[in-house]
Structure 1
């Protein structure tokens, strides 16, 4: 293939502070074996010297400096708009890539115009034999907005024993490491910046499914992720954003009939979670996050409904088709009451 026919690739890394994790990520990119890529660091108003030191160490690094912290979604969107490329690769600043990781993702996008996003295998940096919390071997979601991964359900992560070594369609690709067809995500409206952080890639993938695109998992050389390197899982804000944003996803993307069918049981599941979190986990932050998400969704409802109107205008595929890609049972019920901990054991 002649060089002029190769797709242009830009890796977009949103960043806000953290010199050591960023330098480690950039070192792995320098040695990843993929020539011709550009690397764009989107600096969300860092206050440390991480950007200065990274530029010194890696002169090939491009930097887009933002005047304020726009969050993951705002930073990524700024990077996508800035990067004129066929393929956008989203990569967290707390990841480490393996040599050869990128080529299979680019090939998967190039081989099928209906594929909008591709995720590699994500494993934990801290426990390298385990799948990573933020993406595992590709993401799924149930009817009530609870996401999970092949390799991780809630807090249970599987060891990677080669059980997810086949390429497959998935519902969502992790924003921690994934390659995206830029034309598709521009048409879909980019990430929803009202999310600020967490689950915005799931929302984007739902829109892509509504537009007739496929999302894929492509096994190959792993990407290692320091989950929580930027925002710890234990922090109240992270739990709040996860709960709130999962509600917004349902309101925005389902047809009204399915919204009305889904909301009552989702509310019941949240109500069950509250005493469970207090009695068995002693997790008051979880309770505060759940209750806070309800009020945030209610007070922000006019905004979410305006966003919903825009999203529904993108639809070319009915809910009946999209629902075939969504787990029809409650993953929370399967996990907490039937004690099914691994995705491969779930009844589909």
Structure 2
């Protein structure tokens, strides 16, 4: 007997994403049931994305925000009004392929103790190449997409446990968010999904990859790959995640590799005249008193063992390997 799927609330934050919305919504409608809902959170878009949806997509529930709260705050606004037991997160520039939602639900139903199922994002004009197959965390403190640039057929056919799900395509259990809380709104954009994944793992909420749940994604469509804005937030939010989420034993063990990475990043920033890379880190260090308080509250609720958490931390590749991957992503995303 097939288990009945709970109701889904699909939450789509958008900012200047009107050009992608018709295709995104059409792909979702084809896969959702009559009792499911689509929530579009308009982050004060200048392209009037919310007004367009109210006029041309009356089945979509629009949450119009007076200011841009970024992915984190915008998604939280949608989650706050969502009615479903399952919460689908998908970017406005992602096109869910047929069977995507069914594959996400199948993965969660197979793993009743998992709090999230991650989908696979591919490059919009290279759908046979992986942009993200969930999140991986490294000894140098870097949290990054799994398998970027690899062919889609490199993924195993069966669901598999992974550290966490990218916010660009994920199915979450409401029970998990009730336990750990939503995204940290102050992150605005970038690594808020890593912070959420760490908080989930600390509370023994696992994540599984649904390899057949796929969506074509326009990579870094909102703020631009390699933009100073993105560099600053990545640098700032990296430090925030490490201070908030890594238990002391893991932080102590990884600290030499973390410091080495940040020193190399600072040297790269100076050599390439990209001060935003350093500015973001400095901004986070100025927040240390508040971050220590947040860390204390998060770590006090940890139920997972250090040994279990340590299994997710992978070795750090060489800087040259990182650069090669970054250049490959730039090539694959250039035409999207």
What's the TM-score once normalised by structure 2's chain length? 0.89
C-alpha distance in 2 between matches for 1:258 and 1:160: 32
**1:284 is matched with which residue?**
273
The match for 1:112 is 111
Q: Whole-Å Cα distance in 1 between the matches of residues 33 and 312 of structure 2?
A: 32
Displacement of 1:17:
2.0
1-side partners of 2:68 and 2:214: how far apart? 30
Aligned to 1:138: 134
Change (3 A) 1:204 1:221: closer
Aligned residue pairs, count: 328
TM-score, normalisation: structure 1: 0.86
In the alignment, what sits opposite 2:312?
A: 325
**Which residue of the other structure, out of 298, 312, 321, is the alignment partner of 2:299?**
312
Q: Deviations over 1:1-32 (max 9, x none)?
A: 799x5411100001122211122211222223
Does the Cα contact within 8 Å between 1:34 and 1:102 map onto a contact in 2?
Answer: no
Kept after mapping to 2: 8 A contact 1:34/1:103: no
Residues 114-171 of structure 1: per-residue CA shift (max 9 Å, x gap): 1011112211113222212xxx22221112221233321xxxx223234443321111
Give unmatched runs, 5+ long, in structure 1. 343-348
> How far apart are 1:203 and its partner, in Å?
0.9
Is the deviation greater in 205-214 or in 329-338? 329-338
Gaps of 5+ in 2: 329-336
CA contact (8 A) 1:150 1:164 kept: no
| Offset of residue 43 of structure 1 | 1.3
Partner of 2:18: 19
> Could you tell me how far apart the structure 2 residues matched to 1:292 and 1:337 are?
21
* CA deviation profile, 1:197-241 (whole Å, cap 9, x unmatched): 101111111111111111110111421111111111121111111
More strand by share: 2
Q: Tell me the secondary structure at the aligned position of residue 128 of structure 1.
A: strand
State whether structure 2 residue 298 is matched by structure 1 residue 299. no
**Structure 2 residue aligned with 1:345:** none
CA shift in 2, pair 1:86/1:223, >3 Å: same
**Partner residue in 1 for 2:193:** 201
Q: Distance in 1 between matches of 2:318 and 2:178?
A: 33
Aligned partner of 2:98 in structure 1 is 99
Q: 3-state DSSP class of the match of 2:39? A: strand
Map of 2:123 onto structure 1: 124
1:26-105 superposed matches below 5 A? 26-32=25-31, 34-105=33-104
Whole-Å separation in 2 of the counterparts to 1:331 and 1:19 = 38
SS in 2 for 1:102: helix
Q: CA deviation at 1:277?
A: 5.8
Q: Counterpart of 2:205?
A: 213
Measured in 1, the distance between the counterparts of 2:318 and 2:279 equals 20
Q: Does 1:223 align with 2:218?
A: no
